[in-house]
With several copies, the nearest count.
Chain A
Amino acid sequence: MDLRNKRIPEDEFLRIRKEVLNSWVTGNDPQLDLEEAVKYLKSVPEHKNFAIKLNKAKERGLTLIQPRAGVPVLESHIKLLQYLQESGADFLPSTIDSYTRQNRYVEAQKGLEESVSRNRALLNGFPAVNHGVTNCKQVLEAVDVPIEARHGTPDARLLSEIIHAAGWTSNEGGGISYNIPYAKSVPLEVSIKNWQYCDRLVGYYEERGIRINREPFGPLTGTLVPPSISNTVMIIEALLAAEQGVKNITVGYGMGGNLVQDVAAINSLYDQTIEYLNKFGYTGMEISTVFHQWMGGFPQDEAEALALISYSSTVAALSKATKLISKSPHESVGIPTMEANGLGVKASKFIVNMLKDQNMAESYALKEEIAQIKKEVHCLMDVIYKAGDGDWAVGIVSAFRQGLIDVPFAPSKCNAGKILPARDNDGMIRILEFGNLGFTDEIKEFHHKKIEQRAKLENREISFQLTVDDVYSVSKGKLIGRPQV
């Protein structure tokens, strides 16, 4: 497969487009005619445009709230979104179900129909492809804030066509971030190619004066991902998107749990995304950041879950991320009810408002951690650049294949799965087993020392048990999975 980080020529894009639209019946909708779509998108009012609302928030230094939410049946989905809007959501999502994410539209159809007939959700999200453009437009028209599709789809080409034509002005995902954590055997080349298409679609609209936001999925597996690894993936996806003509990008990060490391991660993510975009000649870019509330296993107790949501929001607000993805007190159990989801929004909103005028004071510890993350990211970026002989797309595929970059707990076969993360004595996420990770010896030594200090304090060997304990710890109400005393 001939993968390159090069803008897809318009004629080729339009040729592929025909195939894409033919892959399921709803792709034949005349509203998917590009002129029609451009016209409709131009009619979307400013306050429902994701990119514009983000830009304004960033300018004012605000952190805006977006929940995750999606149910199969149209009317219920609209009711859900309206409720969340009233609870204070600044942006609305439509979380897509898992069959659609795997392009299994037949099963999605079955689940949708059964959900209607049995009056009970049998899908874990909104099957936007099966619903088609008309229904998706209805969703947008029923609310007063911008809408984004949130999913986890290696091949989201048809999905992206449908949602954008319906006026949804943001799309989450990326060729790496929607493959490595979300698939087992989809080759990285394939998902990156697919997402080049999704980005090219946005670029196409951009050329016609329509602002659409793109959001690479920062948290990856949501489980003890060292910031430099997810930040590197974010920067590469930003570079790939920019090449296809995307202008408005929100790079993301999933909370690790240590306040200083999290604030440092958002800060360095922002700085380095801009640094690399500039360095590689992408101009006129609008970059913002999104902070995901704790993405690992949640505590069962709902008061504890709300506490974790609030703590996550505190960290987000202090990091000055432009957007905050909220969770609900039902997180550990299942898809939340409308009400539970609303509680998460309200708590999050309360916190960001309380902290609106406060800054994280500059400190030595913060500066140091920012410097550390930046150093690691530079190191990984260099390695990837070399692996691709100067082509980011080729480089990232090759780097993943060699394990030079590696995501903990990822299901994908394209991922080496050799590194093991664990917390240090401050609760910062470090690495105890590097596999083939492209770190210099100096960086490895730093991580090793940090983990060693912890093991020493806990009087035990460095082993996978540290990782296992840390996977469970937050859900049990501790940041660090120390042995009971």
Chain B
Amino acid sequence: MKTIVIGVIGADVHAVGNKIIEYTLTNAGYNVVNIGVLSTQEDFINAAIETDASLILVSSLYGHGEIDCRGMREKCIEAGIGEILLYVGGNIVVGKQDFIQVKQTFMDMGFTRVYPPGTPIDNALKDIREDLGE
């Protein structure tokens, strides 16, 4: 059973989606480690190391995602899990922005997959299965 670390990054307290994601991924057969809201990059990385996770799934709802996610890939590399899959989704920037550009920004930061607003977790299950090789 593959392990996925989930949580909500930064000063963000949106907890509903997080609880639904935990429920959905668990139902889909994954070992879910939920570090909850108000989590730092370090919280995610430490949890991933401790649980030997294959994927870190970052939620950001409140708009500060861009600031909060900067340098996360570098921190993963420093921590020795440079190759780990990094997803981000929710409402990751402030306001209604052109998503092509937003996606590029986060891809450039080293995220593996970047999701537009309103993508329910169910729609990402296919990607997860693919990336985790199942």
Contacts and interface: CB of A to CB of B under 8 A. Distances in A.
Q: Do chains A and B touch in the complex (CB under 8 A)?
A: yes
Interface of A: 98-99, 101-102, 104, 107, 110-111, 121-124, 152, 181-185, 221, 223, 296-297, 300, 330, 332-337, 340, 409-411, 464, 468, 471-472, 475
Contacts of A101: 11
Given A122-B67, A123-B64, A334 B12 contact: no
A-B pairs, top 3 by smallest CB distance, nearest first, are A124-B63, A411-B15, A334-B95
B107 interface: no
A111 B64 contact: yes
26 contacts: A98-B10, A99-B11, A99-B64, A101-B11, A107-B11, A111-B64, A121-B95, A123-B63, A123-B64, A124-B64, A152-B13, A182-B13, A184-B38, A296-B16, A330-B95, A330-B96, A333-B91, A333-B118, A334-B63, A334-B95, A334-B96, A335-B63, A409-B15, A409-B19, A411-B15, A411-B36
Interface of B: 10-13, 15-16, 19-20, 23, 36-38, 62-64, 66-67, 91, 93-97, 117-118, 120
B44 to A, nearest CB: 15
Contacts of A475: 118
A411 B63 contact: no
- The interface residues of chain A, by DSSP majority, are classed as loop
B118 A332 contact: yes
A336 B95 CA distance: 6
A475 B16 CA distance: 14
A471 B19 CA distance: 11
A123 B120 CA distance: 24
A105 to B, nearest CB: 12
Given A111-B67, A122-B66, A410 B91 contact: no
Contact of B95 (A107, A182, A184, A337): A337
Contacts of A223: 16
- The interface residues of chain B, by DSSP majority, are classed as loop
A483 B11 CA distance: 35
A150 to B, nearest CB: 14
B11 A102 contact: yes
A413 to B, nearest CB: 9
A199 to B, nearest CB: 23
Contacts of B95: 121, 330, 333-337
Contacts of A185: 38
Contacts of B94: 121-124, 334-335
A102 B15 CA distance: 16
A333 B117 contact: yes
Contact of A98 (B12, B91, B96, B120): B12
Contacts of A152: 13
A471 B36 contact: no
A67 B118 CA distance: 22
Given A98-B12, A122-B67, A124-B64, A184 B96 contact: no
A207 B64 CA distance: 40
Given A102-B11, A335-B94, 7 more contacts: A121-B95, A123-B63, A124-B94, A183-B38, A296-B16, A334-B91, A468-B20
A389 B125 CA distance: 50
Given A184-B36, A184-B38, A468-B23, A409 B16 contact: yes
Given A121-B95, A335-B94, A184 B67 contact: no
Contacts of B64: 98-99, 111, 122-124
> Which of B15, B23, B91, B118 has the largest count of A CB atoms less than 10 A from its CB?
B15
A351 B111 CA distance: 39
Contacts of A337: 95-96
Contact of A411 (B23, B38, B97): B38
A101 B63 CA distance: 14
Nearest to B15: A411
A221 B20 contact: no
A136 to B, nearest CB: 21
B76 to A, nearest CB: 22
Nearest to A121: B94
Nearest to B8: A411
Nearest to B117: A333
A334 B93 contact: yes
Contacts of B117: 300, 332-334
A65 to B, nearest CB: 22
B97 A334 contact: yes
A265 B10 CA distance: 34
A337 B62 CA distance: 15
